[in-house]
Structure 1
Amino acid sequence: MKVLALKFENYRNLDDAIITPCDGVNVIYGDNAQGKTNLLEAFWMFCGGHSFRGSKDNELIGFGKPFAKLEVRFFGQDREQTASIKFKGNKKQVEINSVAKNSAAALIEKYCAVVFSPEHLNLIKRGPSERRKFIDSAICREKLKNAVVLSKYNRTLNQRNSLLKDIYRHPELEETLSIWDNSLLLNGAILIKQRMEYLQMLEKRAAEYHFGISGGKEQLEIRYLSTTNAEYGDSIEQIHQKLYETFEQSRADDIRNGCTTKGAHRDDAEILINGKNARLYASQGQQRSAVLSLKLAEAAVLSERMGEKPIILLDDVMSELDSKRQDFLLNKLDDCQVFITCCEQSNKEQLKHGKIFNVCNGVIS
């Protein structure tokens, strides 16, 4: 898909305007705290009506203004379409092709994008929960039924954990544990299978991007680390059996700790560069390159599975990357629409083909 035009009114610190990006790389240039990320966020809002920065809806409205409104004209699903979101207080009014929608979630089926922000470096820097969240978010965006499986798993997990806390004080309740185990095993097996299939697709494409970004000097790998010994190629039935055996073996530990100590909610994905754990051994620039590769690979997988190339939004991406890695992002991502924010004059000058937007105190030129 391609964004043809974006209009914003009373949005954060941005002056009201309409911008028309090019089909390739669009550089959003300017000093810090001028509104570059606000503009990038505006493009992202049509992915479901939520900020990638975790902001509340009323924080999107310009200071002293009664509302904010975003409108986009884009080409997607083989036709030109429109969408709008109006923010008033903590309420949203959404229209797609001039038809009012009950929820901003309706936008997900029409408009797709992938975003990188500095917070995504936590994929490598922090613990397993960040990597699980990244994988689960990606698979849930592809199919509604994936989100249903994850929701059922998390709900059942919370119920099982509550029971485990009660069993410690009331041992006779242990007989009821199997009620929650059955659902947790089924949805856990499906979730692990979905994650492994997704990671296999992601790793292949991320390795290709990282090879290009690093100028052929680095090899990126991703390994799924299962607490239940599940392996790539296992069927759902095989994973289910391994989960069952693990739960049986860890039951005493679960009761003692008052929580489910093993399962899909404790799994991890290890990211390696040239065979070494990126969290422990990679430099800041290497870590940033690895996360960028993952996000670009996410876009590639999304394109293959949904039949629509998402737009790519890269916020504050150039810092800590050498000139060759910067050149790859500016001049080699020519098969999709890209928006990149940057501060350095040299970054703007590196762009060979594309469009540059300057942001100064909320004014875009």
Structure 2
Amino acid sequence: MATPLTADRLLKALRDEGLTVIEHRNWRTNNRNHKGPWGPTHGVMIHHTVTSGTANSVELCYNGHSALPGPLCHGVIAKDGTVHLVGNGRTNHAGLGDGNVLRAVVAEAEHLPADNEANTDGNRHFYGFECVNLGDGKDPWPAEQLLAIERAAAALCRAHGWSERSVIGHLEWQPGKIDPRGFTMNSMRARIADRLEDKAPAKPPVTPPPATSTGTYTVKRGDTLTSIAAAHKTTPDELAKLNKLGDPDKLAVGQKLKVPAKTQPAPPTKPSAAKHEPYPGAAFFLNGSQPAIGKKSPIFTAMGKRLVAVGCGRYTVGPGPQLGKADVNSYEAWQRKCGYTGTAAKWPPGKTTWDKLQVPKS
């Protein structure tokens, strides 16, 4: 049980976890509090939108539709991992669900009961994140989006002192629901648990300073302040301030807006590959099709130390130069942290995750 976060605390928690967050229109006062109480909060619920495209999905979740008034969640997680805040307070995302599931979430039980009843108001007790996906089992879940789901849920768990067991999917709450479809909630909870083990949240992205020079943009039909801001690498708030807009939701076709001028990109820096161990290939880590347990190399020591540094160490002793089961478990935790699930997260290391780990030359 927890008191809901204020808008400022919600925003800070997400950004402190390393997320890029866009504040959509009047999200701070966009809620359904007139229809019932908001809180106490008990957990986080994950959904998919059954839509495509960020702008359309964000507007739908902000406004809702004739059969289900908005807001339809607290935040929309785009394919690129950006979180768009659209509501603060009670939102229309969870609906009626199983009271036994709620009790299990409150108790942070290891296993959830089957959701076979719809007798409890979930809109009162759960934060909701809608993730842009068609939900047809074919629409992909990019690694950036899965990482953002992990971070957003962990941010709220961290803020309230919850474990990963306070995070559920809509399909685990309300009979007949299938969302989110395309990854399992057990795998997502495992990722969140790994992240919460690392007590220090990720360093938030640096907010660029306000533009010192500007260009001009002419508003076209269908434009919103959010879409214009995204196209010019800025935020709706900055554009509103730059143009002294009284009502940022009212734009006229043909209206001239000041926008940050394009700057010359910095010259590329030379890669520092010499400082890091190059990917030795999958065969280096295998004995046939199995992990090469017992193989010795200083690379394994350097790899293990990096896995500990990024919060994925699963060692009781070591790491050391001889490959062991703890190395395998630690690297699979790292691959899950990088957004991979199922067999894609299993041993051996892949080149993408190896390069991202930046193992020092041994």
Same fold? TM cut 0.5:
no
Per chain length, whose mean CA-contact separation is higher, i.e. which structure has more relative contact order (CA < 8 Å, sep 6+)? 1
More helix by share: 1
What TM-score does the superposition give when structure 1 sets the normalisation length? 0.22
What TM-score does the superposition give when structure 2 sets the normalisation length? 0.22
